[in-house]
Structure 1
Amino acid sequence: MQNKSVNWTGVLLLLGVFAALGGGWLYKTSQGHASEHGRRTFAIELPADKFAKLERPAVLFDHEKHTEALKDAPCAECHRQDKDSGALLFGVIDPDKHTTRKAITDAYHDNCIGCHKERGAGPMACGECHVRNAPESAPWHSMELSLEQHQKHVAAMEDKCEACHHDYDERAKKLVYKKGAETSCRDCHREAARDNRPSMRLAAHTQCITCHMNREKQNAATGPVQCQGCHDEALKLPALMDMSRVKRLNRNQKDMPLITVNDNKMKPVPFDHKNHETVARNCRTCHHESLKACSECHTVQGKKEGGYVRLSEAFHRATSERSCVGCHEQVKKQTTCRVCHESMASGPVETACDTCHSGEKGAPAAARADRDPNEVIDWALMYVQDFPEDIEVKTIADKYEAVPFPHLEIIKSMNKLLGGNRLANVFHGDRNVVCAGCHHNSPMNARPPACSRCHDAPFDARDLSRPGLKGAYHQQCVGCHRTMNIKNFRDCTVCHKDKDAAMPTLAAGKKQ
């Protein structure tokens, strides 16, 4: 990604012109605009030291439109190429030649307007390119190299990791490959250029597209070279369920490292790294840019390298998608989990601490995670004698018939959902957890108190967390049906058989 003959600083300044060339799975931009065709355009970025104040608005460049018009012309028609590697350079400016404001302006006008005149197509007047109040759109869809996509690249390159992974040897002043020390591209290439390292955007587009184009010339399987091939919103990363089929990367990582802190009051955490790899899109899901252990950046007290995020927060902050607890919170937003957890407080609960902090030898969480995720843990059939099979709800029997509540069938349905969920297999080891989905704020046992024990009083404005019995039933039952998209929850008679056929329903917009 680096080359000693290229002035990366100069190239970077003009990256926005042709960043739309696409193809770098790790590319991210915030400069997307809508062209007249509804496609993305990119603002031409000029050197800030020479163009601190612009006389006209920046030009919004429609790369896709130009590639269609010049489909029979080589990319070098517009792009310069590196003399040594042949890699396309993003921008028409030669940083060694175009060093003044006038030289840069003339370079663009000579190249762009000159081409328009030669081909008899394209704008000529200033205001046709420098458009005032041009409409903006959402940026291109950012893409990341998932483990599945990485596996495709490994196969295509025949396990030659050095084709992409490299490090810069300061003494030799060249790029070298260190086996076993591979890291994320973003570990060196950040959002902006730094020292002699190009930005992630520039490095990815230069390296990836050049490789794709070279393989295309060799009639070998290759990746996209146009923007939409990588950055189209319609392109989706592989589902997490597909990640378990990806061959495991060998980075000398331990299957189950023991997470511990000196003088910690809690037991160590035997972290099942191997199983977590099967539900992560890539290593950066947890490790940010580098692949270092969490404790190297996040210390007990916090330090600059870790953004002063303490180790306890790095693992337990519920609002962070990178922390253990925060990641679990995201999973709990899925429909099958939300049906119960939506009415519960977010974040860790004390009863769950021992699930992870199980000690050096116990590791019950890892053992449960190793179970077949499709296994149905049939607590309901094992302990059917502990609870009633059917219940009659007679709360509003003065207006409606009593509601037959299929208690056992509902438990079986919930149980089936839990059995296919790996996270649930770990944290729902107690069979009574399934009962807590409805019997919240109650001791977890096979005989939780009836709903009326807590919701016996009518609605109390002083305690909004405890509605009356009628409100509790509707909040819990209707809420579950809404989340799971079960039945028409707006029609009372779906559950309540009407004593009077003329009785209006909520579906008709009337009060009960």
Structure 2
Amino acid sequence: MKKIIFALSFISIQAYIYAFVDNSNPTNCKECHTCDKPSTQALCLHPCPRHETTNSNKHNLSEGPGIVFFKDIAEHFTPVKFDHRAHADMSSLGVEKCNFCHHFTPPGKIQPCRDCHTKNSEDLKRPGLKGAYHRQCLGCHREWSHDNKCFSCHENTDKKTPVDPSDKSDIIANAHPKIQSPQTLVYKTPYRKAPIVTFHHGQHIKSFGLQCVNCHEKFTCGNCHDSDPNKKKKRTMQQVHQSCDKCHRADNCSKCHSLKEMAPFNHADKGWKLNYPHSKLACKECHKTPEEKPKKECKFCHKTEWTRQNFNHNSTGLKIDAAHSMFECSYCHSENNTFKVFCNKCHFDGRDPKKKPVGEYLTL
């Protein structure tokens, strides 16, 4: 008896799997999978396959609900509040591509899914609402996150806490894991004269105090999570340079393009070695715009808050007497070095206030 039950179960599973495939022809893996070698770890599934004639008419997003409340399919878990509008806004699908999820969109009033996906459907090619809903969600979230635990969307029925509506910052009911930003990205471009572009991502963030949204504007889930990762995306020249052009519009191609990978920017190569405290400053403290090239003299930046008249040099441990007050700061602090300057840098013959008085010396 157990063998018969097992056999029937196996047949049912097989029937469910092949229900999505056109049985009139030999099975083609590409009908369901986007990669050549799918596995249990990487299923590479297409979005929910459709084998029935679709009715695709344009609808406005405002016609649909903001939140869909799935309560009749709950068994072991509490109901699910699905933020329909947030998914549409953040998935980069847009109103024109509603049929990515909605394969039946006749004109007029939007039909509820349950009209076709009945609870006890016997048609394996038209699963019940519970099966259709889960297959729809898993079609994207399995490919994107590879983690589809039930509690990502559900709470156990024994919990008395209410189900909160979805939040746009928490679109799949779990907080997005922290994104580890790369330090350096190297691109190989079709520009033959200088095909290599080295982008020091980490240095840009640190030097300019940037947040992700400063460069990655209007990004959506679909920019990083592609339901078909094997599909090559073609971008125009304008799209490729869009983020960089904000600061580098006036630069020549050679500013970024080279024949080999480039080392990080070294400020000393420009004649100004960044010592303390300047090394702690963000670039924008001196460069109000990326194109601005400030002068190297201290007084160019330290106009009123740090002048000879109001800066007390005694606080450094060295009193500026009459003999030294005639000199500019840079006379002792060359290369913008604010560290301690030793007397023998100038008084190489051994003169200093503790041993010999200041003045001209005559050797007899």
Larger radius of gyration: 2
State whether TM-score is above 0.5. no
TM range (shorter): 0.3 to 0.5
Higher helix share: 1
TM-score, normalised by the number of residues in structure 1: 0.26
Q: Which TM-score applies when normalising by structure 2?
A: 0.33
